[in-house]
Chains A and B, each alone.
Chain A
Amino acid sequence: MNTNLDSVNGILTVTIPGDLTSTTAEPLRPAIYGALEKQGIARTWKLFRLELPAAKMVDSVGLNLIVSLLKIVQQNGGKMQIACANANVHRTFMFTRLDKQIELVKL
């Protein structure tokens, strides 16, 4: 997992190297939370961007992690964006209606 803070444009980017599933999401959770805390939620950035460049699957546990991140971001007045390359992953966000609350961007 990589973290990058663009303080000029106020964007915190977290990049997940592979799938976001039941076997990968839980180990990632503390690291992502840590990144949010470290950067000071909604203080130095306004947009939280989650990049999934290599993900071929996001399952319900991965979706739950995204929802929990979204809640944290929204509670702190920020916005969330997900950037993914895979059409099936993009479709998963659509049918679970996360696209209504998170901006989806194609990589």
Chain B
Amino acid sequence: MEKRLAPAFLIDRLKANLRRFSFSSERLGGRYRAAALSHGPVRKPILQMSSAPETASTNRTRRVLVVEDDAINLTVLRLALEKWGYQISPAHDVKGAQDKFRHVGADHFDCVISDYWLPDQTGLDFLKWLKIEEPSLASVMLTTDNDRSLITESLRLGVVDFLEKPVNIQKLLVAIDTASLQTARRRHLQKSESAVEGLGRIQRWMVRTVETQLIELCFHPKFEAGGDFLGRFQINSHIFCCLLTDVSGHDPQAAYISSYFHGIFRGMSLQGSPLKDIFRSFNQFLLKEWNQEEKLRQGNTASTSVAAVALLVDSDQHTVSVLTNGAPVPVQVQPDGRAKLMGEMGGPPLGWFPDIEICTTQYSTDGGGTIYLWTDGLGDLADTFGVHPLSLAFALQEGDRNGAKLPMLKSANDDILFAAVLLPENDPGVGLLQPIILEMYSGNQTPEIDEIAAGWERNFRLAIPNMGDAAEHDILLASREAVLNALKHGCQGRAEKTVRFQASYHRLDHFIRIWVEDPGPGHDFDVNAHAREMAHSLIDEHRGLICIMHLARKVQFERGGATVILDFPL
């Protein structure tokens, strides 16, 4: 029941009018004009005929839902558009339009033309409903002069054009074509997004299949699927491998290359290939096959590269072999909580140079501990906010645990993957001290102490936002004293000497531990005696150490005072 909305004799007259390419409903007489004015403001003739644009003739199969309450206007529109090859489904109110929509399915129509004034609801009400039912479907709104204030709301609801009655047929055909193309684009995009979402789901699932008792993970891809990937697998009962990769790009291609490398890495590792050979082999693949093929296929001069870190952990030998190419150098946290960088720079990413530097370094894992790995997306975001990647990772982990996404993630320009790989032989207390700052200062950096301390403050506020004002003051003051002392006395102000500074958070007992280490011989005086003396006389020496003794809950000196370890309750 969708064709006959006007008497047959009227249709004949309308056809005659259409043939002359000039039409106005005014000609149909007062009876129909009165009907057209029965609701809404001024009724105007719906079409002004003129020669149609060429585009209309190329789109004859488009299916258009036309919602117009005026029987004559609806018929005029239907006949005009059918003449140009469109398949028209007419409806004279919102309910009728909804019924048609439900009957034929969400993706049947290419576009909707709707009058604003309709008997049961307005055209906007219908578009609101449509936006929920089929958000891809673009529409054209017809209205009179008085309705123009509705343009903004209509555009918000996906209306691609807003035509004023009487509608110029040329403009109408262009609007239908534009809306139909918009619908097609939106549907294509929806399908592509759906495919990428599926890929992203698989990637997240694969990344998270690593056993959570063995790896703590924090994964925030920038888009649905990206190039960051992590895998862990047993080679035999006492050796396991861990591979973290970051492929250039944030698209499905990057995700594919990353997972391809993981497959190759896993297969070759299980066959006993040394890590170096696997990296070298994939480097050759990227250079000689993938990137060459890409250039031929796309004229693409930008090569694909892979940044990677591989760990081979042997619990019998108590060793871990580390191989780093292009990725941030991993950090090993020893059983006592002390952290150290595993190497300096590592080699360049795979896919850059044929004669790539690939070297494996071995470290002891006696007593267990943790190795922290991350991709450069974490470091880049940390740089943006002037914080250490470890404190940012800690904050991200806390956010994940609490189900709260860190607002700074909005500024991320890259995928972020951070993993804490737990080493075997961990005692229950090992691994609870998580590093949030690990920095080295040159012996001549005393004048920069304010900037250094401002950095600590940013890190503490990010990682432990609920740290009290007094605790923060005490940590900052004691750390400042310890570092100034190390720079002045331990390094004697010399640039080639360095101070190591580490701050860690104890996840069970909620305290901060600070390590300050310098290469000097330490001190040879009795700190406690000085403290007593200071109470009675105005001595000028070692006031910094006295401050430290009072500010920290627990103070330990090692190597004669060249290493100071401070605990602060929170």
Contacts and interface: CB of A to CB of B under 8 A. Distances in A.
Interface of A: 21-23, 56-57, 59-61, 63-64, 67-68, 70-71, 87-88, 91-92, 95-97, 100-101
Given A63-B547, A88-B477, A101-B538, 16 more contacts: A22-B449, A22-B480, A23-B447, A23-B450, A57-B477, A59-B481, A60-B484, A60-B543, A60-B547, A67-B538, A67-B543, A70-B538, A91-B470, A96-B547, A97-B535, A100-B535
B469 interface: yes
A67 B540 contact: yes
B303 interface: no
B565 to A, nearest CB: 19
Nearest to B488: A22
B341 interface: no
Nearest to A19: B450
Interface in B521-567: 534-535, 538, 540, 543-544, 546-547, 550-551
Nearest to B539: A67
Count class of interface residues, chain B: 20 to 34
A60 B534 contact: no
B445 interface: no
Which 10 pairs from chain A and chain B are nearest by CB? Answer: A60-B544, A88-B473, A60-B543, A95-B550, A97-B535, A67-B538, A23-B450, A63-B543, A60-B547, A60-B481
Contact of A96 (B450, B469, B540, B550): B550
A60 B535 CA distance: 15
Nearest to A24: B450
B547 A88 contact: no
Question: Which of A21, A70, A88, A95 has most B Cβ within 10 Å?
Answer: A88
A96 B543 contact: yes
A92 B477 contact: yes
12 contacts: A22-B484, A23-B449, A57-B480, A59-B484, A61-B484, A63-B547, A88-B477, A92-B547, A95-B551, A96-B546, A96-B550, A97-B534
Contacts, number: 58
B464 interface: no
B239 interface: no
A96 B550 CA distance: 8
A19 to B, nearest CB: 9
Given A59-B477, A59-B481, A96 B534 contact: yes
Nearest to B538: A67
A67 B538 CA distance: 7
A57 B547 contact: no
Question: Which of A57, A60, A64, A68 has most B Cβ within 10 Å?
Answer: A60
Contacts of B535: 97, 100
